[in-house]
C-alpha cells in the first residue's frame, strides 16, 4: 500500500502518508493488542493518485417499477484498487488476530493434557 501511494493521512485526508514505517504498519495491523501508533496515522483511501486501477464500471438498468416512473440507472464500480487494498487490510488484520489468539492459547498451556 505504501509503495503504491494508497495510504492516506487520517488527520488530513488530502495528503499521502509518508510518516509511517511499512514493516511497523504491517505489525501494528496484524497484532490487535499491540499499538505501535502506525495504523492510527494512515488508512487506505483515494486522493486522486495517478496510476491506480480504477476498476470496472457497470451501468445497471432496472425494469420499470411503475408504468409512469422510470428508475434511473445505477452505476456500479467493481474491483477498484483502493477497495481491494481495504479488503486486503481487513483480511490481514483478521488472520493476524486469529494467529496471535491461537498462539496465545497454545503457549499458555490450555491445550496441555491434565495428569
Distance CA 88, CA 4 (A): 14
Q: Could you tell me if 1 and 7 are in contact, meaning their C-beta atoms sit under 8 angstroms apart?
A: yes
pLDDT band, very low/low/confident/very high, at 67 (cuts 50, 70, 90): low
Calculate what percentage of the chain has a pLDDT beyond 70: 83
Distance CA 94, CA 23 (A): 17
Dump pLDDT digits (tens) for 48-62: 666 677 777 777 766
Number of residues that this document lists for the chain:
115
Amino acid at each position: 500500500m505504501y509503495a503504491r501511494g494508497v495510504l492516506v493521512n487520517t488527520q488530513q485526508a488530502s495528503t499521502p502518508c509518508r510518516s509511517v514505517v511499512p514493516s511497523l504498519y504491517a505489525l501494528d495491523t496484524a497484532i490487535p493488542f499491540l499499538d505501535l501508533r502506525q495504523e492510527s496515522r494512515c488508512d487506505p483511501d483515494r486522493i486522486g493518485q495517478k496510476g491506480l486501477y480504477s476498476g470496472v464500471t457497470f451501468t445497471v438498468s432496472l425494469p420499470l417499477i411503475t408504468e409512469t416512473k422510470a428508475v434511473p440507472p445505477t452505476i456500479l464500480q467493481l474491483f477498484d484498487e483502493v477497495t481491494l487494498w481495504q479488503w486486503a487490510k481487513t483480511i490481514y488484520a483478521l488472520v493476524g488476530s486469529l494467529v496471535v489468539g491461537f498462539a496465545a492459547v497454545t503457549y499458555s498451556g490450555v491445550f496441555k493434557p491434565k495428569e
